[in-house]
Structure 1
Amino acid sequence: MMSTETLLEQKLLHSHKKEMIVFLNNHPEYFDEAVELAIQNKQPYSWRAAWVLWSYISKNDIRIKNHIPKLIKAIGNKTDGHQRELLKILLEMNLNEEQEGHLFDLSVSLWEDVEKKPSIRYTAFKFIIKMAKKHPELTNEILLLAQDKYLNSLSPGVNRSIKKMITNTIGLNHNKRKQSHT
């Protein structure tokens, strides 16, 4: 029986991450296929495609721009690890206001789901913090999301990281408001 795997799928399954990145560098024609695989739920390839893309893309990568709506929409029905990798890609991008709103709502839902793995919740919270830094009026929402019921299920290390992010963001937003009044 012949394999129905594409060349990219073969690379994703049988290569180390560094080799996959070299492959994408040498074969940019596979980039869109990698993004489409990342959006789909075709395991074991989709999670790995998202995982490699995050390491491969640059900050605000123009090649991802047109895929942003599909990436946001795809997050909802994926496993925790796959959701995390898609979120990590989107954390690298400058989103428009509508995209920010959709991803913020989704990130809040992921954060509030204490049954989710800490790694996806942590990544979702990083996006929430990114939005709070950009929109200081979200500071009060951050405080609501920092209640013990959301923090208790996290390891001590993740808990400390979250609290540090909150403290830094609240301090930053407080200083921004102070400067705007002077």
Structure 2
Amino acid sequence: MNLKKALLKDHSRAHALYLADYIRQDEDRFGELMQLFFDEPYLITQRAAWVVGICGEKHPSLIMPYLEKMILNLDNDIHDAVKRNSLRILQDMDLPDNLIGPAADICFRLLSARDEPVAVKVFSMTVLLNVVKKVPELKNELKIIIEDQMPYGSAGFVSRGRKTLQALSKI
């Protein structure tokens, strides 16, 4: 299957699930998907992001060889879907020690930015909560940023913010 053509064919949940099922745990197919995810124009990366997110949920081990590049890619001018799906994957991963610093820096920036979509902010919040469990010195910084944005946040942001603040109080 030509994955690039398949991504352009349809943009639906059913199609994304179909492509994720095609890839399964095949490292070569997943590598092809990741190349599209990182190196193509917005439309392709956007559609690839959905499939990457599904594959990352089902087979997190596939992400490991791309983890550093995925984190550093968040610093680039990328489609919101790429940020959202990357962070959705990262929030459920135990980050290696060498990637905690870069991930924390990027997630603090995304969480603090006024123009980021809610999903990007809440997934960044969860990544940072996981980081704080390993690096408790960052606890107060995360708490301050969340509390600062709560009065202006959407319902989703406020809900995740409350849960995160509650979890932070136990650390």
Q: So what's the TM-score if we normalise by structure 1?
A: 0.79
| Residue correspondences, number | 166
Give 2:96's aligned residue.
Answer: 96
RMSD of the alignment, in Å?
2.3
In structure 2, C-alpha distance between the alignment counterparts of 1:26 and 1:68, rounded to whole Å: 16
Cα deviation code 1:130-163 (max 9, x no counterpart): 1122333322122221233x23332134212212
The answer on whether the counterparts of 1:75 and 1:83 sit within 8 Å (CA) in structure 2 is: yes
Does structure 1 retain, via aligned residues, the 8 Å contact 2:20–2:51?
yes
Q: Which moved more, 1:58-67 or 1:48-57?
A: 58-67
- Detail structure 1 runs of 4+ shifted over 6 Å in the superposition: none
What is the deviation of 1:100? Answer: 1.0
In structure 2, the gaps of 5 or more residues are none
Distance 1:143 1:155 in 2: 17
User: Does 1 or 2 have the higher relative contact order (CA < 8 Å, sep 6+)?
Assistant: 2
Quote the sequence identity (%). Answer: 23
Provide the C-alpha distance between the structure 1 equivalents of 2:54 and 2:109, rounded to a whole number of angstroms: 26
Q: Partner residue of 1:8?
A: 3
Quick check: 104-113 or 155-164, which moved more? 155-164
Could you say which structure has the larger radius of gyration? 1
Matches within 5 A, 1:76-115: 76-77=75-76, 78-115=78-115
Residue 111 of structure 2 contacts residue 122 of structure 2 at CA under 8 Å; is this kept in 1?
yes
- 1:136-175 map, 5 Å: 136-148=136-148, 150-171=149-170, 173=171
Alpha-carbon contact 1:8-1:34 (below 8 Å) kept: yes
2:66 equivalent to 1:53: no
Conserved? CA contact 1:38–1:86, under 8 Å: no
TM-score relative to the length of structure 2: 0.84
2:41 is equivalent to residue 42 of structure 1: yes
